[in-house]
Amino acid sequence: AQAGFKVVLCSRSREAGLNAVASLPTEDGRLVCVAQLNLADLVSVDAAAEEIATLAGPRIDFLVLNAGIMATPTRETTTQGFELQVGTNHFGHFRLAEKLWSRVAQKECRTVVLSSTAHTFGGVELDDLHYTKGRAYSPWGAYGQSKACNLLFAKELSERLAPSGASAFSVHPGVIRTNLWREDQGPSFLNRLGFLSFNKLLPKLLSDKTIEQGAATTVYACLAPRLDKSFAGAYFADCNVATPAAAMSDPDLRKQLWEITEAQIAEVLK
């Protein structure tokens, strides 16, 4: 908003979104609109996409798929019956991007998907994404799977957007002091230690980032002029290209994930 862009802020609670806008300096707040969005309900996603389209107009320069849920202690489900973490973090964002396709598939538009170094926590089980076929549920394994799906989605999305001149990236924002560390999930020392113990980059994660620092890589992926087509589908951390897990470069895996996601969404919404 400070740069003069009109911003559509999505929030599960419209009241919370409006309160966030009210906290901004007056000149910035005038350029921020609020759309209600619950990523754990695909009907809400569809309604939000219509509202966003009305507010944003025919073109969305930067679509930032930022929301998420992390490490729910037990297996829960979305409104449509998907495992809650992959359903919210991947399926909800996938559907939103799909519904806004005509507005983001335009020359020089960018879609930025928030993934995480947590994509290394667990593999993507295409035949059991929702832990319904005997796979033991793990809070961090499920979170890691959802973040891997985000990264794979961004790479495949970038490929499919290429003919339009648009691009897509994924980012690892870092460990940020946000409400993801809610009281019911942490931020107890043991909970956070459990998170860190999964990560082989432990020394780099001992210091949290502020919200501003955490947003920096997302803003970079949106605005950096040097990100031409040679960076298509890139994964960023600390405002630099980073190397994801080897499996994230598998074109068959990301294509299959795309097709399975499409099919499962179509099945629950038919």
pLDDT digits (tens, 9 = 90+) for 12-23: 999 999 999 999
Better-scored residue on pLDDT, 199 or 69: 69
Report d(CA 239, CA 258) in Å as an integer: 27
| Percent of the chain clearing pLDDT 70 (strictly above) | 87
Predicted local confidence at residue 34, as pLDDT: 97
Distance CA 100, CA 115 (A): 20
Give the pLDDT confidence of 56-100 residue by residue, as tens digits: 999 999 999 998 899 999 999 999 999 999 999 999 999 999 999
Report the length, in residues, of the chain.
Answer: 270
**Is 186's pLDDT higher than 70?**
no
From CA 42, how far away is CA 48, in angstroms rounded?
10
Q: Is 170 exposed, middle or buried (0-12, 13-18, 19+ CB in 10 A)?
A: buried
Q: How confident is the model at residue 179, as a pLDDT?
A: 57
CA dihedral 257, 244, 88, 178 (to 10 degrees): 180
Which of the residues are catalytic? 137
**With 60 as the cut, is the pLDDT of residue 258 above it?**
yes
pLDDT at site 176: 58
pLDDT at residue 208, as a whole number: 66
pTM over 0.85: yes
Q: Average pLDDT for residues 100-114, to the nearest whole number?
A: 98
Which of the pair, 190 or 246, is modelled with greater confidence?
Answer: 246
Look at residue 137 and tell me whether its pLDDT is greater than 70: yes
Residue 211's pLDDT band (boundaries 50, 70, 90)? confident
Predicted confidence (pLDDT) at residue 187 exceeds the cutoff of 50:
no
* Tokens at 25, concatenated: 């300096």
The residue ranking higher by pLDDT, 171 or 71, is 171
Secondary structure class of 34 (helix, strand, coil): strand
- Residue 221 near residue 227, CB atoms below 8 Å: yes
At residue 213, the pLDDT reads 87
Partners of 235 in the β-ladder = 170
Q: Which helix (H) or strand (E) holds 238?
A: none
Please report the pLDDT score of residue 26 as a whole number.
77
pLDDT on residue 68: 87
Average pLDDT over residues 180-204: 45
- Per the CB < 8 A criterion, the answer to whether 81 and 265 are in contact is no
Q: How is residue 86 written in tokens?
A: 């992959």
Q: Which domains does the chain have, with CATH numbers?
A: 61-87+103-269 (3.40.50.720)
- Does residue 234 register a pLDDT over 50? yes
Q: How far apart are CA 223 and CA 258, in angstroms?
A: 27
The Cβ-side half-sphere exposure at 180, using a 13 Å CA radius, reads 20
**For residue 143, pLDDT beyond 60:** yes
Say what the pLDDT of residue 27 is. Answer: 77
What 3-state class would DSSP assign to 179? coil
Confidence of residue 154 (pLDDT cuts 50, 70, 90): very high
